[in-house]
Amino acid sequence: MPSAVQVVTQTLISRSGAIHIARIYGQNNVPINQESLSSIMAQVTDLDYNSVVYGPTALTISQVVFESLVNNDPRWTLDNIGYNFLWVCPALALSMSGENGQTDIKFTPVSGEVFVAPFTYQLSPVYIP
């Protein structure tokens, strides 16, 4: 069973792409890698209206999961250990009516149980058409 996933909470700009970046651990508290997963799905939900606004959509494992932890990227400021998951959520997915959203990333390992990494956020509005 995967270890507990810390919920990431942040403020994002509405109608703008957003980086979802994390260090994800799978079975036996070992960081995930490409070979440890069979699929990844993403879904964005408008929490104010309880409606799915994007997805579920399949993510390409080789494009979002790194084989080793990345610790030399200035976008990662949490610690010096690094991250192994990075996905840029498209702007279209953050064009919701409400102010509160959540992206759920569902990981299906090659063996073991499915687990989800939730990213919650408050959207700052934009007024340009």
Q: Which 3 state secondary structure label does DSSP give 20?
A: strand
Write down how long the chain is: 129
Closest CA to 17 of 106, 103, 77: 103
Q: Which pLDDT score, from 0 to 100, does residue 126 have?
A: 72
Better pLDDT: 32 or 94: 32
The 10s digit of each residue's pLDDT in 4-34 is 455 555 666 666 788 899 999 987 889 999 9
Confidence of residue 98 (pLDDT cuts 50, 70, 90): confident
Task: Report pTM.
Answer: 0.87
Residue 107 structure tokens: 């990981």
Question: Which DSSP string corresponds to 82-129?
Answer: -EEEEEEE-GGGG--SSSEEEEEEEEEESSS--EEEEEEEEEEP----
**Rounded to the nearest 5°, which phi and psi values hold at 66?**
-100, 145
Contact predicate 107/36, CB 8 Å: no
Domains and CATH numbers, the chain: 8-124 (2.60.40.10)
Amino acid at 88: V
